[in-house]
Amino acid sequence: MSQIDHDKYRKLLKIQQNNALLKTSQAVLGWDQEVMMPKGGIEWRARQLGFLAGLAHERSTTPEIGKLLQECEQDQTLTSAPRSVHGTNLRMWRREYDKATKLPVSLVKEIAETRSLAQSAWSEAKDKSDFSIFLPFLEKNLELSKREAECYGAPEGGELWDALADNYEPGANAKEISEIFGPLRDRLAALIQEVQEKGSAPDTSFLDVAVPISRQDKFGRLVLESMGYDFNHGRLDESSHPFTQSFSPADVRITTRYQETNFLDALGSTMHEGGHALYEQGLPMETAGTPASEAISLGIHESQSRLWENMVGRSRSFWQWSTPLVHDILGSGLTPYDSEAFYRGSNRVQASLIRVEADETTYNLHIMIRFELELRLFRGTLEAKDLPCAWNKLYQSLLGVKVPNDAKGCLQDIHWALGIFGYFPTYTLGNLYAAQFFAKAEEDLGCMDDAFAKGQFKTLLAWLREKIHRQGSRFFPGELCEQVTGRKLSSDAFFSYLEKKVRETHGI
């Protein structure tokens, strides 16, 4: 009998595949809510989603899964090849099952209730720029998240925060992240200071040119097709917050948003989500509905979006290819600008207050500030009430900007209101993975500038498919990085890529 014909495994596989059908059906309703649903449908939709969420939780925590997992794990023929499809599935199913069953139902309920209250308090606090409204909820969210982390348990040699980070980035821990972020933080701060003192700011006046949305949409679709996004297995729509939603590798949808001016905003969002979608479309269809065909982490996911958005979309060669198309499709308002102008303007460095509006260089400092503060809150070396003061100090010292009020300071992000801790670093980890992968791709394939300048991105995509997308969840992020690049993750590739570009575009 072959390993995969194993009875117990087949039974478990069937249960898990059905659960995946249920969860991806939920996702269809979620996508519809963001993109298509009329406003008045919200109450019924909330009931539909609530019902399905309860069903999904019940089905994924049934003791039958635990029993079958245990039986499969005792079978040497199933566990002897940990990177095989069944080895990967058993390992990841075990993780999911343990996480889902370790939290007592009473805590899950308390968390859900508190988070919904915290979210509305945060929203009011942000509107009024009054931190005191949010403070009691932040304290409660922290307490609940610590209890949640205690249920999972800190990894050996690690700390509580790690248990939460592991939900988003399997195997991640504060110690290793700090070791990677530390040197990068100093180098970035120095580079930004140099830009402020000696750099000449690129002209970004093309961002004021109005471009009809239908033209931006046409251009975005052309770029997506050139990247290799498959419209037979996807679609592009508009929503207020751009996102990617996959139901299976055969149906991966993205959204973007448009404004009349600043065509770069929509282009950046479209390429970013396009990068996420290429990862999802590249996962193996033959194992769809199991971890062998699932993205491994948020950091690796973000590496794919950032690679296309920044390493491709803000490169000189990309603009050499796309500038004639920009002139042709986006209209005569942009014809005075050549490819160099777009290249320089799209890479402008400017320290600012708001993370989601930050450029590629300053962005990571916004993340590091949040990471540091979160750790201090978790370790008990910072009290929640002192958060605004600590926040403002770090913005002043690292980015050189003065925070005028808490709405533009520590109340700007929704994450802590939703009780999401351990998440922020995945954004920067994504940037670092992206650069390390890209450097390795160039090592393997040679310089891709000439191909990019002709709008040819297929070789790069084929490389990403083989090395990253097809791997699904076979490797944890750190292992995947070593497997693909031969090295542990560091910030070296990212910093040298960025420094070269910043110096070129700012004349320093």
Residue positions annotated with a catalytic role: 273
From the CB of 480, what's the least distance to Zn ion, in Å?
A: 18
Return d(Cα 165, Cα 423) in angstroms, integer. Answer: 6
Question: Which range touches Zn ion (CB under 5 A), out of 138-146, 283-291, 301-309, 347-355?
Answer: 301-309
The alpha carbon of 310 is separated from its chain's Cα centroid by a whole number of angstroms, namely 14
Amino acid at 42: I
Q: Please select the residue that binds Zn ion; options are 305, 317, 426, 485, rule is CB under 5 A.
A: 305
DSSP string, 219-241: HHHHHHHHHT--GGG--EEE-SS
Assign 450 to helix, strand or coil. helix
Residue 486 DSSP label: S
User: Which of 88/256 has CB closer to Zn ion?
Assistant: 256
Binding pattern for the stretch 228-267 against Zn ion, x by CB under 5 A and - elsewhere: ----------------------------------------
Comparing every residue's Cβ against Zn ion, the nearest one is 305
Residue 137 tokens, joined: 């909820």
User: Which of 216/305 has CB closer to Zn ion?
Assistant: 305
From the CB of 387, what's the least distance to Zn ion, in Å?
A: 26
Assign 329 to helix, strand or coil. helix
Question: Which range touches Zn ion (CB under 5 A), out of 7-15, 231-239, 260-268, 304-312?
Answer: 304-312
Query: Can you give the three-state secondary structure of 376-415, one letter per residue?
Result: HHHHCCCCHHHHHHHHHHHHHHHHCCCCCCHHHCCCCCCC
User: Which of 281/305 has CB closer to Zn ion?
Assistant: 305
Question: Which range touches Zn ion (CB under 5 A), out of 39-47, 224-232, 297-305, 495-503?
Answer: 297-305
User: Which of 189/254 has CB closer to Zn ion?
Assistant: 254
Do residues 248 and 268 lie in contact, with contact meaning Cβ atoms separated by under 8 Å?
no
Question: Which range touches Zn ion (CB under 5 A), out of 221-229, 281-289, 300-308, 439-447?
Answer: 300-308
Return d(Cα 46, Cα 124) in angstroms, integer. Answer: 22
Q: How many residues bind Zn ion (CB under 5 A)?
A: 1
Mark 487-505 as b/e (b = at least 16 C-beta within 10 Å): eebbbbbbbebbbebbeeb
Q: How far is CA 151 from CA 72, 116, 316, in A?
A: 25, 22, 49
From the CB of 300, what's the least distance to Zn ion, in Å?
A: 11
Residue 412 tokens, joined: 């700007």
| Chain residues 73-92 in contact with Zn ion, contact rule CB under 5 A | none
From the CB of 418, what's the least distance to Zn ion, in Å?
A: 17
User: Which of 305/431 has CB closer to Zn ion?
Assistant: 305
Return d(Cα 372, Cα 193) in angstroms, integer. Answer: 21
| Chain residues 168-227 in contact with Zn ion, contact rule CB under 5 A | none
Question: Which range touches Zn ion (CB under 5 A), out of 175-183, 207-215, 303-311, 433-441?
Answer: 303-311
Q: In what order do the strands lie in the sheet with 251-256?
A: 236-238, 251-256, 244-248
From the CB of 413, what's the least distance to Zn ion, in Å?
A: 15
User: Which of 89/305 has CB closer to Zn ion?
Assistant: 305
Residues that bind Zn ion (CB under 5 A): 305
